[in-house]
Structure 1
Amino acid sequence: MSPDLTLTVRETGPGTPYELTGDQVAALVAVPDLVRLTPAPGGRWSVRGNQKVGLIRLRTRSGGAIHLRLRPKLGIRDLLFLLSYSPTDPWHPEQVTAATADDLLPALADLLARTVRRTLEAGVLHGYREVEEELPLIRGSIRTTAQLRRTGLPLPISVRYDDHTPDIPENRILLAALHLAAHLPGVPHPTRLTLRHLADRLPGVRRPHPGEPLPTWTPTRLNARYAPALRLAGLLLSGRSIRPEGGTSAPADGFLLDLPKVFERFVTVTLGEALARHGIRCVPQDVHRLDKARRTAFRSDLVLYREGRPISVMDAKYTFLKVTAPPVDHLYQLLAYCTALGITHGHLVYAATTPGTAPTDHVIRCSPVTITAHALNLNDPPAKVLAQTAALAATAATATTA
């Protein structure tokens, strides 16, 4: 059996050289796009991040384990702000404590514990569930057909009734997230105890089995106080699987986030809300056709519509630009989108960690298309980041009326 190995890798930047066995290399490459491996001098391997963060434990064929810690480039508080826009509807995280501010998993576990504790202070939500069973007494209504099939003694009686129970989808999701967070690597012991104590406050709730699809819930007036905790729980539970070679999703021992998807979701939600104030409707991942024969489909992050007509297109790129000009392939992509949609202006939205990056227009030669590149400084406080998205929306709205 090979010894366990711990790798600490930043999401971007130069790789770190490690001595890896063949089994360890095979375990790392078995999950596509998890990290980037290149040979290094001295028979070692350079391990680079691939825009993913979290902590994953991978098993090797020889029985060992790789503890892969993928650290974000952004600060934890800034990353949590982006994550707050990842579930179906935005939720707004409170400040994480100083004790967990340097690591994502403890911060998320601590945040879940405090959010669920506040949610359950008003009591555990109950709901009605239809139950069919056989009892020695009448409860609810008699299942006449099932009862008439019986022979011999009339007891027990086949009945159907509505049971007022805590075993509802909302509580099942919370219980699954509490159990997962309590077992995440690096979570402090006091936080684990709190998570387990909160799970004990949900007696009679069945926790979904590993691999079982999570129950769905619908926001209502009755479960409104559960909504922040459920959206945070959904975020944690969505990051509990990886996709190994072959394309089948498998449970992950740990937690993994794909930051390009997180950034894309943040951009689409915040810009969609800001552009709505300018009378522009945004449709995320809208399907269009690139060729006249309609054989080739494409999906951009946002298509902007005014009075039912497409007027612009946007794509979010989780790339920290070091030069003013976007990569050529990004410009090609937006040019194709604009041409197929019959519009003259497109927008690329990049991530940034420094202030003072002004939008830059790129007028395409021999074409009516202009592509504007924007950069959002994600190290700014949340209010300033939202102000940047509002300014970007105003710029895009003005460009579409020019």
Structure 2
Amino acid sequence: MTAPSTGSAATSLALEFDEFDRRGKLVTLSWEGAHHLSQTRLVEVLPAGRDTWRLIPSGAVGSVRVEGLSVRVMPAASLGLTQLFFLLDHAADDAFLPSAVQARDDDELWVSVAESMARLAHQALAPGLLRGYRRVDESLTTVRGRIRLGDQIRRRPGMAIPLEVSYSEFTPDIAENRILRTAAHRLQFLPDLPDNTRRRLAMVDARLADASLIPQGAPVPAWTPSRLNARYQAALTLADRIVRRISVEVEDGHASSAAFVTEMPALFERFVESELTAALHGRGGRLLQNPVVDLSSGTEAGPDDTGEAGDGTDGGTAGRHRAAPGRHRAPADDGDHISVRTGLVYEVDGDPVTTFVATYPTDRRARAAEHYRLLAACTALGVDRAYLVYPAQRRDDTPQPRRIVHTDISIVEYPVDLSGGPAQSRRAIVELAQQARALAAAPATPAARHRTGARHHTAVHHHTTTQIREGRRHAR
């Protein structure tokens, strides 16, 4: 059992987990420390005795420090910090600049982020503080700016002073400086930082003393990239994400807890979506995000309703079944229908070509459900190929097509080796996009493929109906 010394910032014991580890480890923590750790949602904290707790990863990755205990959950896809921050760059609401965090894969997360923040902040502040105009609403005994007559009458009817005024102040207390200072202020209290890094962060904090700190959990003020704050932008992008994603609670000049937690499945899905969108948009093609299509073919008509061709030929059978068009479309709000979510659908000139589903679990049993979903999506869209994109488990993993029996549909398991670095990961997605473009250029169009599938469905139904009738005659 692991027993860290509680309450000591100088003593730090590290535990590292794989994100899919379900056995966990035993640690000794106070109730307050266990509560803090549980609130981060990085691990499940289960009681196992007096001041003893079992820690089990909850599906997220990241790093948390509580009471001298450092808990680190690493991605199962053999990612280091470089690849992790690369994936974070694709998170639309939590993006990191590609060059913001300079880290080796064996670096400690907190040290890497703190050193990068100190370096970028000093570069941004070297030419001087950025200042800007900020609106101030105050109650003053003298006139400054303009009087807010509505507020004056509502709040102080019949009184001459104090006056409700509004004015613009040229001040360093603007959103950019507030974000930079808050990031540097929080990081400098982390334990185990090199003295030089802690000193440089404290210098940034002091330099920005006229900017107010953002309280923990408070909304982060918005800032807009412009020519005026161009020299701040690299530091601001990192600082903004630190303030939003990294939680640091300070007590008595020490960090009582610090947490950085993120969800790998969401990061991987956003990475695949953004790279495929960049590679496939244009030249008549576009990528649709998870359109819902109607899987049902319509209501089967009675034996007398054979359509225009009532001679039992394909025309009559097709009329009876009314096969739905092989186009992505939302099901009607009224009536019964069977709908399916189709993943990322690539269409050219309005016709679906193929679909992609990004999934993070890497074991085959977990991917089986996605095969069924893709089979249904291909049937509804009228396409004969789909791609299941997932992180590779080994460096020698290669794409593997799986032809579904009794159909013309193939589902390609497409592994992406994230451990090879950003360039290799992007190259794998570009090659996937090239395969999709080749499908679009093939002679067999999506509409033709759907008509083939519809004729196959009609033939199977007709054959089944014939067998039933023959069985009834035999029984009589």
SS of 2:212's partner is: coil
Q: Deviations over 1:76-117 (max 9, x none)?
A: 22323223323446622267366x942222112222222222
* CA distance in structure 1 between the partners assigned to 2:343 and 2:415 by the alignment: 16
Counterpart among 97, 108, 129 of residue 103 in structure 1 = 108
* CA distance in structure 1 between the partners assigned to 2:118 and 2:82 by the alignment: 17
SS of 1:9's partner is: strand
SS of 2:15's partner is: strand
Shift of 1:340: 4.4
Report how many residues are paired.
Answer: 381
The TM-score with structure 2 as length reference comes to: 0.65
* CA distance in structure 2 between the partners assigned to 1:367 and 1:27 by the alignment: 53
SS of 1:327's partner is: helix
8 Å CA contact 1:87, 1:234 repeated in 2: no
Spell out the pairing of 1:198-347 with structure 2 (5 A cutoff): 198-240=204-246, 253-276=258-281, 279-284=284-289, 286=290, 288=292, 292=331, 302-308=344-350, 310-320=352-362, 327-347=367-387
> Which stretch shifts more, 48-57 or 203-212?
48-57
- Residues 163 and 93 of structure 1, relative CA distance in 2, 3 Å threshold: same
> Which stretch shifts more, 297-306 or 256-265?
297-306
Aligned to 1:8: 15
Aligned to 2:446: none
Determine if the alignment matches structure 1 residue 54 to structure 2 residue 53: no
Q: Deviations over 1:195-233 (max 9, x none)?
A: 222122223322222222222334444444433333323
Q: Percent identity?
A: 31
Larger Rg: 2
* CA distance in structure 2 between the partners assigned to 1:32 and 1:261 by the alignment: 17
Amino acid corresponding to residue 387 of structure 1 in structure 2: R
The answer for unaligned runs of 5 or more in structure 2 is 7-11, 249-255, 296-330, 443-476
* CA distance in structure 2 between the partners assigned to 1:191 and 1:300 by the alignment: 49
Counterpart among 134, 139, 142 of residue 134 in structure 1 = 139
Q: Deviations over 1:41-100 (max 9, x none)?
A: xxx998664553322246xxxxx88642224532222323223323446622267366x9
Aligned to 2:88: 83
* CA distance in structure 2 between the partners assigned to 1:105 and 1:214 by the alignment: 21
Aligned to 1:119: 124
Shift of 1:126: 3.0
Determine if the alignment matches structure 1 residue 162 to structure 2 residue 165: no
- Residues 230 and 334 of structure 1, relative CA distance in 2, 3 Å threshold: farther
Counterpart among 65, 68, 71 of residue 68 in structure 1 = 71
SS of 2:406's partner is: coil
Aligned to 1:364: 404
- Residues 217 and 328 of structure 1, relative CA distance in 2, 3 Å threshold: same
* CA distance in structure 1 between the partners assigned to 2:233 and 2:381 by the alignment: 38
* CA distance in structure 2 between the partners assigned to 1:310 and 1:116 by the alignment: 48
Shift of 1:26: 7.9
* CA distance in structure 2 between the partners assigned to 1:144 and 1:82 by the alignment: 52
8 Å CA contact 2:27, 2:55 repeated in 1: no
Shift of 1:277: 5.5
- Residues 281 and 200 of structure 1, relative CA distance in 2, 3 Å threshold: farther
Shift of 1:373: 1.9
Q: What is the alpha-carbon root mean square deviation over aligned residues?
A: 4.3
Determine if the alignment matches structure 1 residue 376 to structure 2 residue 416: yes
- Residues 396 and 155 of structure 1, relative CA distance in 2, 3 Å threshold: same
Amino acid corresponding to residue 306 of structure 1 in structure 2: V
* CA distance in structure 1 between the partners assigned to 2:74 and 2:123 by the alignment: 29
Aligned to 2:323: none
Determine if the alignment matches structure 1 residue 396 to structure 2 residue 396: no
Amino acid corresponding to residue 312 of structure 1 in structure 2: T
8 Å CA contact 1:320, 1:352 repeated in 2: yes
- Residues 342 and 225 of structure 1, relative CA distance in 2, 3 Å threshold: farther
8 Å CA contact 1:138, 1:157 repeated in 2: yes
> Which stretch shifts more, 222-231 or 142-151?
142-151
Shift of 1:318: 2.9
The answer for unaligned runs of 5 or more in structure 1 is 59-63, 243-250
Aligned to 2:200: 194
* CA distance in structure 1 between the partners assigned to 2:173 and 2:347 by the alignment: 43
Shift of 1:296: 8.3
Q: Deviations over 1:112-153 (max 9, x none)?
A: 22222223334433333222223344332233455575656x
* CA distance in structure 1 between the partners assigned to 2:46 and 2:139 by the alignment: 64
Amino acid corresponding to residue 53 of structure 1 in structure 2: V
